[in-house]
Amino acid sequence: METQKEVRKAIIPIAGLGTRFLPMSKVLSKEFFPLGDKPAIQYIVKEIKDSGIEEIIFIISPHQKAILKYFKKDVALEEHLKKRKKEQLLDELHTFQDAFSDIKMTFVVQKEPKGDGHAILQAAKYVKNEPVANSFGDDIIYSPAPATAQLINIFNTCSAPVIGLKRLPREKIPAYGNVAVEKISNGLYKIKKIIEKPEPSQIQSDLVVLGRHILTPEVFEYLKKAKPSKKGEIILAEVLSKMLDDGKQIYGYELNGEWLECGDKLKWIKSFFYLTLKDERYKDELKQYLKTIK
């Protein structure tokens, strides 16, 4: 019997156009929109690193150059800070660079935006025949226990694809992917059906899918065979639904932590304030300032 392989790699697809954030996204990719004093992508990369992942595979568009530089050591900037005797800023830069120096980062270009499933498929040759974590850039999970690590723990038990889940009020569910489930234990479910943006009459439960997954090699085989939708896209949720129709096992886990969404401007603004008000450096003064606004 083949030994189960560990989850050592993660995919972060960030090649989307960010049209909901126009005109800002014309010049700044949405993964670099700030949440407090850090860009969204930094929270996601830290979560993945803290989950024990050794390599991140970024799926980027041909025009995304900032991500290629952000986590890279910047010798010229260091020299500039040394000359200006900016010791505190230099220490902060070193702390940031050191925090991510031991995780390998690979960058793969998705030439055209053809759906999230197509973006994930671009990582296939780097993932090889291994299970892999997937983290979409629209979701931040604020939790002491990294969300990716939570899903890896489930995968280590079930050896099948795992989807991150969260509960929502019924009136909000039609904007998300909804699931029909069979409960296994506290927080753990067997997925029976996935319905994207259901009509109220189609709602199966109060659980929706968020942007965290553990994907197996079998998922990539289905992605390779998937037919594009009428819009020319390959969608991960549709591929997972096809696997369920074929009798494949997929599990869902209700993630612990605060789900902070960044999929549109209002959600991003709310997430910005949430994380800033959690920061010990800023929260007290910011709370006082907010009280002065009428």
Q: pLDDT tens across 46-89, in order?
A: 999 999 999 999 999 888 888 889 998 889 999 999 999 999 99
d(CA 9, CA 55): 5
Domains and CATH numbers, the chain: 9-292 (3.90.550.10)
The whole-model pTM stands at: 0.92
Q: pLDDT tens across 265-289, in order?
A: 999 999 999 999 999 999 999 999 9
Q: pLDDT tens across 27-45, in order?
A: 888 899 999 999 999 999 9
Give 26's pLDDT tier (boundaries 50, 70, 90): confident
Helix, strand, coil percentages for the chain (3-state, nearest 5): 40, 25, 35
The burial class, CB within 10 Å (0-12 / 13-18 / 19+), for 275 is: buried
d(CA 261, CA 211): 10
Look at residue 110 and give its three-state secondary structure.
coil
The alpha carbon torsion through 20, 24, 25, 27 (nearest 10 deg) reads: 170
d(CA 182, CA 185): 9
Which one-letter amino acid corresponds to residue 284?
D
